[in-house]
Amino acid sequence: MRIDRYISKFEGLSRNYSRSLIKSGKVSVDGRVVRDPSLHVEENANVTLDGSRVIAFGMIYIMMNKPAGYVCSREESEGPTVFDLVQERFSYDLSVAGRLDRDSTGLTLLSNDGLFVHHVISPKKTIEKEYLVQTVKPVTPEQIEAMNGGLLIGRGEFSKPVSVRTLGENSVEIILTEGRFHEVKRLMKASGNEVLTLHRSRIGGLSLPGSLKPGEWANIGEDALKIITGAE
């Protein structure tokens, strides 16, 4: 397959945009920068765009450092969405694997692979999500103990975190495997405290890299998927 078609097909980009990326030296094949859009490559070649592996066969997996103020849903009509941050590059039908609230920040996964999205969010798969929370009031040992024991968080729902620990006077780390609506906020409230800021720092074995600034995103390769899901 021609390299311009390869980039266009597997990154969901227009052919013209693919060509301009190739000509500007952003594409490598097996470690060598290529500038000729007509070059032929095998589908299993190691093709990178901006240093990230291009995953052939149409599956896109993105990790993003979600900034505050962006929603993870296309349905909510108000305000910018996380999809706006990637839409220039991707025409694929991406979904978010584990939504964050508008005011929450941090690690957000987007993919067009429905099975992967389901795997990440399914409570049955018990993939850990780690949250760093700044609290309104100082955190007490009783609150930590109550959250670790599990609490009723309203609407007849019970939340039992994997672990909750104090990080500072007004900050805690909460690890959950479920992703109930507003779960961290409702858990904090049930313990007698309140969330001031909420940041997701890890999903499964994938931690948000410090190099990824708010609003930035990167393609993640198959190895990262294995780290997230623990799958072989």
Known catalytic residues are 101
Q: Whose Cβ is closer to ligand URA: residue 53's or residue 182's?
A: 182
DSSP state for residue 197 in the 8-state scheme: E
Which residues fall within 8 angstroms of residue 42, CB to CB, at 6 or more apart? 1
What 3-state DSSP class applies to 227?
A: helix
Number of residues that bind ligand URA (CB under 6 A): 8
Q: Whose Cβ is closer to ligand URA: residue 101's or residue 128's?
A: 101
Shortest Cβ 187–ligand URA spacing (Å): 8
48, 27 contact by CB (below 8 A): yes
Q: How far apart are CA 100 and CA 110, in angstroms?
A: 12
Q: How far apart are CA 169 and CA 105, in angstroms?
A: 21
Site for ligand URA in 196-215 (CB under 6 A): 198
Q: Whose Cβ is closer to ligand URA: residue 48's or residue 105's?
A: 105
100 binds ligand URA (CB under 6 A): yes
178 burial type by CB count under 10 A (0-12 exposed, 13-18 middle, 19+ buried)? middle
94, 111 contact by CB (below 8 A): yes
101 binds ligand URA (CB under 6 A): yes
Q: Where are the beta strands (DSSP E) in the chain?
A: 27-29, 32-33, 47-49, 52-53, 61-66, 95-96, 105-111, 129-135, 151-154, 157-159, 163-168, 171-176, 195-203, 206-207, 217-219
- Rule CB under 6 A: choose which of 82, 184, 190, 206 binds ligand URA: 184
Shortest Cβ 135–ligand URA spacing (Å): 13
130 binds ligand URA (CB under 6 A): no
133 binds ligand URA (CB under 6 A): no
Q: Whose Cβ is closer to ligand URA: residue 46's or residue 126's?
A: 126
Shortest Cβ 153–ligand URA spacing (Å): 10
104 binds ligand URA (CB under 6 A): yes
* Contact region with ligand URA (CB under 6 A), list: 4-12, 36-44, 98-106, 221-229: 98-106
